[in-house]
């Protein structure tokens, strides 16, 4: 992250990343497919955490509440990592290719959420709609979290964003 911040993403090489980390390039490639993946390595853990919590939601929970609870659980994963998340997001925001990669990763998360909802008996069109909505709620909450003037609880922001969505759609 330091190299991306100091030199810029495009100007940073895998060799420099490996050297800074005290690794060989060969070792780097055992862990990462390319230098982009350094920024997205936590995606698997995020997806696992979210998809683990959806099936655990009570049967009485609505699909959107099951997704909301799963997304709130990510607060623990990001606790104490706000500065890192801010730096990471700045690198992504400065590079269209990385922005595209992030959208692909979020689409994968939405697909995994929809699959979990399907296993809970939610029909496919509704499962996809709820999953995409859940990812949008997460994105808004995450942006609020990294943009806040002071450190706040991401889980609380997810809850607030979901409540705001529900309030906006209640009159529909």
Tens of pLDDT, residues 43-93:
899 999 999 999 999 999 999 999 999 999 999 999 999 999 999 999 999
Distance from C-alpha of 159 to C-alpha of 163, rounded to nearest angstrom: 6
- DSSP code at position 166: H
Rounded Cα–Cα distance for residues 94 and 96 (Å): 7
Res 100: pLDDT: 96
The Cα 120–Cα 80 span in angstroms is 33
Same domain as 79, residue 16:
no
Q: Are residues 27 and 102 in the same domain?
A: no
Domain that holds residue 3: 1-35
Burial of 30 (0-12, 13-18, 19+ CB in 10 A): exposed
C-alpha distance from residue 72 to each of 76, 124, 130, 134 (Å)? 8, 23, 15, 11
CATH code assigned at 141? 1.10.357.10
Same domain, 139 and 96: yes
Per-residue CA distances from 170 to 53, 132, 135, 163, 165 (Å): 26, 18, 20, 10, 8
Q: How far apart are CA 116 and CA 29, in angstroms?
A: 32
Given a cut of 70, the residues of the chain with pLDDT beneath it are: 172
Same domain, 157 and 85: yes
User: 68 and 30, same structural domain?
Assistant: no
CA 107 to chain centroid, in Å, comes to 10
Task: Give pLDDT tens digits for 68-81.
Answer: 999 999 999 999 99
As to burial, measured by CB atoms within 10 angstroms (0-12 exposed, 13-18 middle, 19+ buried), residue 2 is exposed
Please tell me the total count of domains within the chain.
2
Q: CB of 137 within 8 A of CB of 158? A: yes
**Shared domain check, 115 and 90:** yes
Query: What is the H or E stretch that residue 136 is in?
Result: helix 124-147
Residues 78 and 16 occupy one common structural domain:
no
Same domain, residue pair 85 and 103:
yes
Residues 88 and 12 in one domain: no
């Amino acid at each position: 992250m330091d190299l991306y911040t100091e030199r810029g993403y495009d100007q940073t090489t895998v060799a420099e990343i490996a050297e800074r980390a005290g690794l060989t390039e060969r070792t780097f490639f055992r862990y990462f497919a390319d230098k982009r993946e350094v920024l997205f390595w936590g995606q698997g853990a995020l997806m696992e955490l979210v998809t683990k919590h959806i099936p655990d939601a009570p049967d009485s929970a609505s699909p959107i509440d099951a997704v909301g609870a799963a997304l709130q659980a990510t607060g623990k994963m990001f606790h104490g990592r706000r500065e890192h998340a801010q730096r990471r997001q700045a690198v992504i925001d400065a590079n269209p290719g990385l922005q595209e990669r992030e959208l692909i990763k979020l689409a994968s998360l939405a697909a995994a959420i929809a699959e979990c909802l399907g296993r809970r008996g939610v029909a496919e069109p509704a499962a996809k709609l709820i999953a995409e909505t859940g990812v949008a709620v997460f994105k808004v909450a995450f942006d609020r979290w990294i943009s806040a003037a002071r450190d706040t609880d991401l889980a609380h922001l997810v809850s607030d964003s979901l409540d705001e969505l529900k309030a906006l759609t209640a009159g529909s």
